[in-house]
Structure formats: C-alpha cells, structure tokens
C-alpha cells in the first residue's frame, strides 16, 4: 500500500475553459506503479472545479450555458463590492461544482464509462497557471 503524488500543470486564459484531463490522470496512475486504488484529483484554488462529462463540443457549450443561466456574471455579488475583481460568479460556480473528484482504478486502469471524461473547468475571468494534484492511494 502506498501513496503517489502526481501533478498536471497547464496555463489557462480566462473563463470558461473546459479541459479534458483524463489522459493525464491515467498516465499518473500508471506512473504510480500501483495496481488498484483511488485517484483523488484536486484543484488548489477557489475558482476552478472538477467533474466528469461526455467531452464533446455540444455538452461543453451546454455546461457553459447552464452555469451562466444559474450563476450569471452581471449579478450584484457582495464579493465584487469588496474586491472589484469581477469574478464573484467564478467563485460561486466553483464552490457549487466542487474542487475534487475521486476515481477508482483497477489493474492500473481508471474505471470510467466509455463516454465519460474527467474535466477541469477554468471558471476565473483571469489567466492562471494551474497545477492540479493527483493523489493516488492504493496497492
């Protein structure tokens, strides 16, 4: 039984960028040398989020629309009144989707549906150098 820490580093340029990180997570599981366990992916930062989706152009657009509809950009955010950085909606969206996702693996392979990918959502309105953590726990 062991723990292996991998990371996925990349740059983003404003909202909403949705990135398929399935292959990156899969590679880290292989690098870990572990056979069975859990890969816990985590965003250090309060304006990014993680979930899974069928990664195709239509749904990528649909999830952006849903977020804009439910947590609109132009609202009267109290965060905005205090900090004036224009990203109140980014924070609330990130908190509602959540910063972590845990995916099981067996025989060194992530257990995912055929049409299911792990995605990172850049929800902030500014550029970021993101560095996601993949904590692999298993044996």
Question: Hunting for tokens 């890969």 — which residue is that?
Answer: 39
How far, CA to CA in Å, does 40 sit from each of 51, 69, 103? Answer: 12, 29, 6
Between 14 and 62, name the residue whose CB sits nearer to its own copies: 62
Between 52 and 125, name the residue whose CB sits nearer to its own copies: 52
x/- track of binding to its own copies for residues 108-127 (CB under 8 A) = ---xxx-xx-----------
Using the rule CB under 8 A, is 83 a contact of its own copies? yes
SS3 66: helix
User: Three-state SS across 73-106?
Assistant: CCCCCHHHHHHCCCCHHHHHHHHHHCCEEEEEEE
Between 33 and 104, name the residue whose CB sits nearer to its own copies: 104
Q: Could you tell me how many residues of this chain bind its own copies (CB under 8 A)?
A: 60
x/- track of binding to its own copies for residues 46-75 (CB under 8 A) = x----xxxx-xxxx-xxx-xx---xx----
């Amino acid at each position: 039984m062991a723990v292996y820490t991998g990371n996925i580093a990349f740059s983003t340029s404003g909202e909403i960028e949705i990135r398929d990180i399935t292959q990156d997570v899969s590679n880290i599981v292989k690098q870990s040398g572990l056979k069975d366990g859990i890969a816990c992916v985590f965003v250090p930062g309060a304006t990014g989020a993680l979930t899974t989706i069928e990664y195709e152009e239509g749904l990528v657009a649909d999830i952006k629309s849903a977020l804009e509809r439910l947590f609109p950009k132009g609202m009267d955010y109290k965060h905005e009144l205090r900090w004036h950085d224009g990203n109140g909606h980014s924070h609330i969206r990130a908190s509602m989707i959540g910063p972590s996702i845990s995916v099981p693996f067996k025989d060194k392979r992530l257990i995912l549906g055929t049409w299911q990918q792990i995605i990172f959502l850049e929800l902030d309105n500014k550029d970021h150098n993101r560095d996601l953590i993949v904590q692999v726990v298993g044996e």
